[in-house]
Structure 1
Amino acid sequence: MYSGIRYLIYSFQYLCLLYFFGFQASIFATFLGILIVYLLQTGIPLPPSTGLLGRGNIALLIFGYLSMVEGTTIAILSATFSLWMLNVVLPSILGAFFIAGLGWDEK
Structure 2
Amino acid sequence: MYSKDFILLTSGGTLLKIYFKSIRFIKTDNYLSTFHYDDCKFFTCCISLKKVQIHLPDFFTQINRSTIINENEISQVFKREKILILNDGSRHRISYRRFKRLKLKIMHIS
Q: TM over 0.5: same fold?
A: no
Greater Cα radius of gyration, structure 1 or 2: 1
- TM-score under structure 1 normalisation? 0.28
- Structure with the higher strand share, 1 or 2: 2
- Structure with the higher helix share, 1 or 2: 1
- TM-score under structure 2 normalisation? 0.28
